Amino acid sequence: MFISLGKRLTELRDRYSHGMQASLDFLKDLLQLARDTVAAEKQAEEVPPEEKGKAALTELFESIKDSETPIMVERLVNEIDSVVRAIRFSGWQDTREGDREVRQALRKILYVKFQIRDEDIYSKAYAYIREYY
C-alpha cells in the first residue's frame, strides 16, 4: 500500500518537474495523495501489536527454514503466540519475573518441543516477543 503511494508521489513529482502538469492540478493531486496517505496510516495502525509480532516471528522462522529443517512454521508461531499471550501481563518486560517466565517458555518451545537450539534465533524471537507483546 505504501509502495504504491510512493510511486504515485514520484510520478506526480516527475510530471510537475517536466511541465506536464499545471500548478493547480499538481496541488489538487498532491492533496489527494496526502489524504490517501493519512487513510493508509490509519488503516496500518489498526493492526494489533500482537499480530505484528506473529508476522515478525513467522518471517524469522521462514527465513531459517530449509529442506533439512522440518519445522512447521505456522505451528511453531502459533505455539509461541498462545503461550506468550497466556503468561504475559501488562508491563512484563520491566519485571524480572515476567522476563524470566517468557524466556523460559520460549526456551521450552524452541529447545525442547521443536529442537531449535540456535541461540541467535532464540535471541531474535525473544526480541520480537519483547517488542510486540
109, 76 contact by CB (below 8 A) = yes
pLDDT value at 65 more than 80: no
How would DSSP label each residue in 72-83? -HHHHHHHHHHH
Maximum Cα interatomic distance, the chain, rounded to a whole number of Å: 65
Alpha-helical runs (H) found in the chain? 2-17, 23-45, 49-64, 73-87, 96-107, 119-132
- 3-state DSSP assignment of residue 61: helix
Q: What is the mean pLDDT of residues 53-81?
A: 80
pLDDT value at 130 more than 80: yes
pLDDT of residue 104: 96
Q: Which residue has the cell 508491563?
A: 91
Residue 102: CB atoms within 10 Å = 21
Give the residue among 125, 130, 131 at the shortest CA–CA distance from 63. 125
pLDDT of residue 69: 59
**pLDDT interval class at 70 (50, 70, 90):** low
- Considering only 12-21, 109-118, 123-132, which range has the smallest mean pLDDT? 12-21
Percent of the chain residues past pLDDT 90, beyond the cut = 33
Q: What is the mean pLDDT of residues 57-69?
A: 75
Torsion sign (Cα): 86, 92, 97, 99: positive
Higher-scoring residue by pLDDT: 82, 44: 82
